[in-house]
Amino acid sequence: MLDPKLIRENPQAVKEATRVKRVASPEKVDAWLAADQRRRSAQTRADALKSEQKKVGDQVGQLKRTLKGGTTPELEKLLEQANAFKTQAQQLADEQAAAETEAASIMLQLPAIPDPTWPIGKDDADNVVARTWADPAHPPIKLEGGKKDHVTLGKELNILDFDRGVKLAGSRSYVVRGAGALLYSAVLRFAQDSLIRRGYEQMIVPVLVTEQCMVGTGYFPAGREQAYITQDNTVLVGTSEVPLASFYGNEILDLDKPIRLAALSTCFRREAGAAGKDTAGLYRVHQFDKVEQVVIHKADDAEHITLHEEIVANSEAILQALKLPYRVSKNCTGDMGQGKWRMYDIETWMPSRNGYGETHSGSALRDFQSRRLNMRYREKLEGGKTETRYCYTLNNTAIACPRVLIAIIEQYQNDDGTITVPEVLTPYMQGIEQITKTI
RNA sequence: GGAGGAGUGGCAGAGUGGUCGAUUGCGCCGGUCUUGAAAACCGGUGGGCCCGCAAGGGUCCCGUGAGUUCGAAUCUCACCUCCUCCGCCA
């Protein structure tokens, strides 16, 4: 959601945002302006009328009290007047409500204005690589000389079972078993510990949330098709960013310092419209587990940038500890989505793709979500006064399984078909340092 | 799932048709007093929207939404949430 004042004062900037982001359209901006104008006009008239109505109502009350149940021509006349006001006020209220509903509905579709320093572009092909990293001892490998992809390796070692996964749950389903399952949770636990050390509060949150949370975080209404919705109208989240960012919704916070949150949760995505894309393997699945970071802080652009860099650095530290080659890209405007101000993707090297695959996505949303979530804080001003402002929010993946397992399995494979467990994960692996076929 | 009860400001808790956006206490902020602090005393203390350069004015908000009424925190209906008891259950 945008600041209404901004749209009124600079509609051109919002129209430009619809263009570079490829979200909504300039016509939507004009439609909002018109609805907003109608809304305000109706309210001004309705408020004035209601004010008169109240005065007459008060007179009726006073008169009735003195008359104690009786009536006079004066009272009759006042009641007639009051009834006339009532009808008119109802009409204006309806007019106002209709315009309000329309304006609100359009508002939910409008894009936030992206940071002008971020790349402008159409889609992910226009993203700009900011940096690339690889441990010199663990460079990106290619699938040649007998090296295998994670599907083949996983099946051979019996740590991945796609056939039975599909039997249990349909397409894009999988089972991770044995040492693979240990590796799976080891990665997640390592990421959690890493964030705990960096001062992030661990949260266990609902993954089945209200529609309000989905709208509030900006996933609805645009992304309805991507979500599983239950017969109770609750929604299975595609990321714990949704419950984390919504956690303080409808509240006014005292924000002495940024609120740093992290949650491990299962995530669900329908992947509607992705039919035929990345069908094999662990890359694009309906259910996965992810450790997510969310930061809530004051409306301050400089701090926002610092925190955005922080959450990306947190994730890079995890990948570096795992010695996985990756690169960080600035997402161009066309690839960043409706609410983002800045966005980085981290892509990890995946030999089977012979390229980098997206494993992390870190966004800075300024007040886009907090306006939708009605999440504010009290800013102390000079002279002891306070002002409520909308918070700024950020989020980034810390690690997501099974997707990152593609990189781990393929990068850490040995010539004999075994997989070496990354050193930082061995404390979580019950003494297993190498995954071999055991079943 | 069945039967009852309840949702009021940061918290506690009054208020059952008008002068109530709401008594009071606690908390919080400012001040007086004090070497300093505490105590005591004095004052202040919610949010949204609309009009306005501003000062200020108007309007809405007592779980949510509809309704009754000239007028609703107060009456009616629906929904949501919480509590108690019973049943079932990881």
The interaxial angle of helices A26-67 and A73-107, nearest 10 deg, is 160
What predicted TM-score, i.e. pTM, was given to this entire model?
Answer: 0.94
- Which residues, including other chains, have CB under 8 Å from residue A40's CB and lie 6 or more apart? none
Token pair of A127 as six digits: 């993203």
d(CA A370, CA A393): 7
Residue A131 falls in the annotated catalytic set: no
Residues packed against strand B, CB within 7 Å: A 4, 39-40, 43-44, 46-48, 50-51, 53-54, 56-58, 60-61, 64-65, 79, 82-83, 85-86, 97, 252, 376, 378, 384, 386, 388
Nucleotide nearest to A63 (CA to C1'): B18
A246-249: long-range contacts, CB 8 A cutoff, minimum separation 24: A246/A209, A246/A212, A246/A213, A246/A216, A246/A217, A246/A373, A247/A203, A247/A205, A248/A296, A248/A373, A248/A375, A248/A391, A249/A212, A249/A213, A249/A216, A249/A373, A249/A374, A249/A375
Nucleotide nearest to A47 (CA to C1'): B59
A399 beta partners: A291
Q: What pLDDT band is residue A384 in, cutting at 50, 70 and 90? A: low
Question: Residues A290-295: what's their mean pLDDT?
Answer: 98
- Tell me the three state secondary structure of residue A249: coil
| Neighbour-count burial for A168-186, b at 16+ CB within 10 Å, e otherwise | eeeebbbbbbbbbebbbbb
Residue A376 falls in the annotated catalytic set: no
Asked if residue A221 has a cis previous peptide bond (ω within 30° of 0), the answer is yes
Residue A284 falls in the annotated catalytic set: yes
Query: Which residue among A361, A363, A370, A410 is the active-site one?
Result: A361
- Summary count for chain A: helices (H), strands (E): 13, 18
Question: Residues A84-93: what's their mean pLDDT?
Answer: 90
Where is average pLDDT lowest: A19-23, A114-118, A250-254, A433-437?
A: A250-254
Q: Which nucleotides of B are covered by protein (CB under 7 A)?
A: 10, 18-19, 29-30, 46-51, 57-60, 66, 70-71
Complete domains list, chain A, with CATH: 4-107 (1.10.287.40), 124-435 (3.30.930.10)
- Which residues, including other chains, have CB under 8 Å from residue A263's CB and lie 6 or more apart? A202, A203, A204, A205, A240, A243, A244, A291, A292, A294
Q: What is the pLDDT of residues A7-37, one digit of tens each?
A: 999 999 999 999 999 999 999 999 999 999 9
Does the pLDDT value for residue A74 go beyond 90?
no
Does the pLDDT value for residue A357 go beyond 90?
yes
Q: What is the pLDDT of residues A217-275, one digit of tens each?
A: 999 999 999 999 988 889 999 999 999 999 999 999 988 899 999 999 999 999 998 88
Residue A352 falls in the annotated catalytic set: no
Q: Provide ipTM, 2 decimals.
A: 0.89
